[in-house]
Structure 1
Amino acid sequence: MDLQDQLKNLFPDHVPQNDEPAPAKSDIWLQDDPILCKYEKRKGKPITILEGYNGAESDFKKLAKELKTRLSVGGSFKEGKIIIQGDYRDKIMHILKEKGFNVKRVGG
Structure 2
Amino acid sequence: MDLQDQLRNLFPDHQPEKEEEVSEEKAEFWIQDEPILCKYEKRKGKPITILEGYQGADTDFKTLTKQLKVFLGVGGTYKNETIIIQGDYRDKIMAYLKENGFKTKRVGG
Normalised TM-score (structure 1):
0.75
Q: Which runs of 5+ in 1 are unaligned?
A: 1-23
Show structure 1 runs of 4+ deviating over 6 A: none
Which residue number corresponds to residue 107 of structure 2?
Answer: 106
Distance 1:105 1:29 in 2: 20
Distance 1:103 1:36 in 2: 6
Report the alpha carbon displacement of residue 27 of structure 1 after superposing the two structures with TM: 1.1
Distance 1:26 1:43 in 2: 34
Distance 2:26 2:38 in 1: 23
Distance 1:26 1:63 in 2: 8
Q: Percent identity?
A: 71
State the one-letter code of the partner of 2:90. Answer: R
Which residue number corresponds to residue 88 of structure 2?
Answer: 87
Distance 1:56 1:67 in 2: 17
Report the alpha carbon displacement of residue 26 of structure 1 after superposing the two structures with TM: 5.0
Q: CA deviation digits over 1:26-56, x for unaligned, max 9?
A: 5110000000000000000000000101121
Distance 2:103 2:40 in 1: 17
Q: What do you get for the CA RMSD once the two structures are aligned?
A: 1.3
Q: CA deviation digits over 1:63-107, x for unaligned, max 9?
A: 000000010000111111110000000000000000000000000
Normalised TM-score (structure 2):
0.75
Distance 1:25 1:65 in 2: 12
